[in-house]
Amino acid sequence: MMVDFVPDKTVYPFESRWFDSSGGRVHYIDEGVGPPILFCHGSPTWSFLYRKIVAGLRVRYRCIAVDYLGFGLSERPENFGYRIAGHTTVLGELIDHLQLDGFVLMGQDWGGPIGLGAATERADRIRGLVLGNTAFWPIEPLANRAFSLIMGSRHMQRRILEQNLLVERFLLGELGRTLTETEANHYRMVQPTVEARRGLAVMPKEIRAARTQLAQLAQDVPALLGKKPALAVWGMRDMVFRPKACIPRIHEAFTDLAVVELPHARHFIQEHAPGEIISAIANRFP
C-alpha cells in the first residue's frame, strides 16, 4: 500500500525519488551537490522532519533523507515486519544503490540505531557521524521500558492505529504552536489510516524487542566507527534521551567527538533548533 499524499512544495520543496528495496518501495529525497550527508529520522516522523536542515545545507552538501518503509511516503508492505533489523537492512540497500562513499550519517531517535546499524557494515565508507537524541545501546531506564510495555498493550496499540496517538499526542503535543497547521498536517496526513500506521505501532515495542540488535551496536559502534569524527547535537530538555545519561555514553564510544548542546530543544531537535544544527554540521564537516 502506498500513501496517497502529495506534499506542499511551499513547505517541502524537494523532488521525490524512489528505490525498490527488497522489502518494498522506499521514498527519499536527494538534494544539492557536494559531500554527501544521509539523514535518518525516528518515530513517528519522516523525511519532512529534516526539511529545514536540508534546505539550509543543500547549497554545499548533497543531502539525502529517507522515509523508512511504513513511514512518510514509502510503501506499507503487508509482509514487512517493521522491526529495527529490517529497517537497517533496507537502509543499507539504499546506501549501496546510491553508491554513497565518504558520507556523513545523521541519526535521531530510532534513526540512530537504524543508521548506525547500516554504517557499521560499511565503516570504510563513512566520513563522519552526527547523533542527536538517540541511543545505540540497550535502553534500560525504567521509564523507557515502561513506555514500551504500555505502548505495546492491546489498548494502546489500538489507540496508535485508530487515533494516530504517536503523532497527535507525542509529536504534535511537544511541538505545539511551533508548527503551522500546514506543517502539522504533513505529519498527520502521511499516516491517514489504520493500515498506514502499522509501522508506527511496532516502534515502541522495539525498545525492548530490539535489545539484541542494540547490544550488538554497543560493541560494534566503538569498534568499527569509534575513530570517525563525530558530532552530538543534543536537545537538553529531552525527557526520552536524557543528556546526563546519554552524552557520557557517546563520549565513551568516540575518540573524536564534538558536542553541541541545544539548551531549549526537546526531543524533536530538527524542529526546535534547525539553525543551530545546520551550523554545527557545517563547522564540523567543512
Catalytic residues: 109, 238, 267
Name the β-bridge partners of 262: 235
Measured CA to CA, the distance from residue 172 to residue 169 in angstroms comes to: 6
Does residue 144 sit in helix, strand or coil?
A: helix
Measured CA to CA, the distance from residue 280 to residue 259 in angstroms comes to: 9
Does residue 248 sit in helix, strand or coil?
A: helix
Does residue 60 sit in helix, strand or coil?
A: coil
Measured CA to CA, the distance from residue 186 to residue 8 in angstroms comes to: 8
Q: Which cell numbers in the block locate residue 242?
A: 536524557
Do residues 204 and 230 lie in contact, with contact meaning Cβ atoms separated by under 8 Å? no
